[in-house]
Amino acid sequence: MKHLVLLVLIILPMALLAVEPDEILQDPVLEERAREISKELRCVVCQNQDIDSSNAGVARDLRILVRERLVAGDSDEEVINYVHARYGDYVLMRPPFNLSTAALWLAPFTLALAALLIGWSVLSASRRRKTVAGLSAAEEDEVARFIEQNKASEET
């Protein structure tokens, strides 16, 4: 029973990842580096999924490419730079801030600011509507005259 629990604890996390057995490197240090790099790279066909957890063919090709570069002796940074040069900013899970990615980085702050401004304007408008003043004495006299005229015209 103890072995079964241990086996489940080892295999279950591996099953959650899309890395196939034929991709895994024999050297555990290189494999760990490959896994860390894979978490930094986005699958170019999936939506916001790293290549380590994607089942897409392109993600598999990228995982193999990362491992080939590591076996060839590249550092982690060199591997990421190599993939970035081939696929562009989109392949990075944390793309650099530049002119082409400015909207990506600034959109959350802009939307949050817009939401705050809209909320503030709605709340201030509702407060203004609640503070409606009563009728002045002249207006009350005019309303009373109007009611009297209505009563007189209904009687005739």
pTM confidence score? 0.58
Is the confidence at residue 12, as pLDDT, over 60? no
Average model confidence (pLDDT) across the chain: 83
**Residues whose CB falls within 8 Å of the CB of residue 47, separated by 6 or more in sequence, listed in order:** none
| For range 122-134, the mean pLDDT | 75
Higher local confidence (pLDDT), 126 or 74:
74
44 within 8 A of 91, measured Cβ to Cβ: yes
Domain ranges of the chain: 2-96, 100-155
Per CATH, domain 2-96 is 1.10.8.640: yes
pLDDT band at 10; cut points 50, 70, 90: low
- Phi, psi dihedrals of residue 131, rounded to the nearest 5°: -95, 45
Each residue's pLDDT tens digit, 114-125: 999 999 999 988
| For range 15-34, the mean pLDDT | 77
pLDDT band at 14; cut points 50, 70, 90: very low
